[in-house]
Amino acid sequence: MELAKLIEIRRDLHRIPELGFQEFKTQDYLLQFIKDIATNRVEIETWKTGILVKVQGLNPKKIIGYRTDIDGLPIQELTGYEFSSLHDGNMHACGHDIHMTIALSALKHVVDHPLQDDVLFIFQPAEEGPGGALPMMQSEAFIRWKPDCIFALHIAPEYPVGTIATKPGLLFANTSELFIDFIGKGGHAAYPHLTKDMAVAAGSFISQVQEIVSRTIDPLDSAVVTIGKMTSGHVQNAISETARLEGTIRTLNPDVMTIVKQKLENISRGFEISHDCKINIDYGSNYYQVSNDERFVKLFQDMLEKSEVHFVEAKKAMTGEDFGFMLKEIPGFMFWLGVDSPYGLHNAKLSPKEESLEVGAKTVIQLLQTVSGKI
């Protein structure tokens, strides 16, 4: 597919970002494209707002999976693009418009030039939350067409266009959202003895949480517990009856995630006694680590050495991706695609260079061709 067409598709999708499991316009757009290029070798199934497309191979023995995410983020776009989001308060600030465009290009190529093996293209909703990978894997269509290997990419603003990065083993962390609600007793600021102040309780709780990693986790392991938001109270002369903390947990070991959560719950029980209050913890969306299969990464690296793409060894990161659930059951890998943006992921001014579309599409097509017949 020519770069001009890739840019057109990317901009169409960029205009209609939708949140997890609300990607109705996005699904319609993708389905229209897919049906326009489909032949009798193509089977299409929908699951909620997601889509699964299987392209029959010439002499199939295995199924190769390729996954793209399709949702946007609740961020007000500030790029100034002529093709900026038409959905107020929503933006493709994580590059999923780029991801989808590359997947469509690879799909068209495989339809026009079938491989030996079948290829399953997975257009997955709700990657940003509440998490679409795990429930989609439990769908009838996914189970019927479960791939023997699976691949995906993610844009990397920090790498120049033409650079690809990945690594064998752990690439992304285990992640969990964190929501903590404190319930006490409010009252007049002049009578603190008649209240149970949840602003004080939540503030003390934040300080206590900072000791979890430093005094509970093995220094040779890695973990992050961040409280990014605190809300409490209504006016300056009233003591807060409730408080809410919102944050995230990230670990490089799933067992450490369990330890951190147990410690949080132990601390909360102590605070319920010491502050005479009720504390509720909700872990929200949880994502499993992205761990790349060494064999397939080596095959990919050898492939790139014969191309014009520049390969670099990626570093593992505390970022999260629910593609990890797929890699937990199916061998494969995720790789970074350089897009050279001065603004990072989840930034309202994220501006990937569109030349990366061609690099990404060619790389994915070459990967599918390379893997076919070698699984």
Q: Which residues are identified as catalytic?
A: 69, 128
Please state at what angle helix 294-305 crosses helix 355-371, rounded to 10 degrees. Answer: 120
User: End-to-end CA distance of the chain, in Å?
Assistant: 27
The 3-class SS string of the chain reads CCHHHHHHHHHHHHCCCCCCCCCHHHHHHHHHHHHHHCCCCEEEEEECCEEEEEECCCCCCCEEEEEEECCCECCCCCCCCCCCCCCCCCECCCCHHHHHHHHHHHHHHHHHCCCCCEEEEEEECCCCCCCCHHHHHCCHHHHHCCCCEEEEEEEECCCCCCEEEECCEEEECEEEEEEEEEECECEECCCHHHCECHHHHHHHHHHHHHHHHHHHCCCCCCEEEEEEEEEECCCCCEECCEEEEEEEEEECCHHHHHHHHHHHHHHHHHHHHHCCCEEEEECCCEECCEEECHHHHHHHHHHHHCCCCEEEECCCECCCCCHHHHHHHCCEEEEEEECCCCCCCCCCCCCCCCHHHHHHHHHHHHHHHHHCCCC
Strand partners, 164: 311, 337
Which residues are CB-neighbours of 28 under 8 A, at least 6 positions away? none
Of 105, 99, 125, the residue nearest 26 (C-alpha): 125
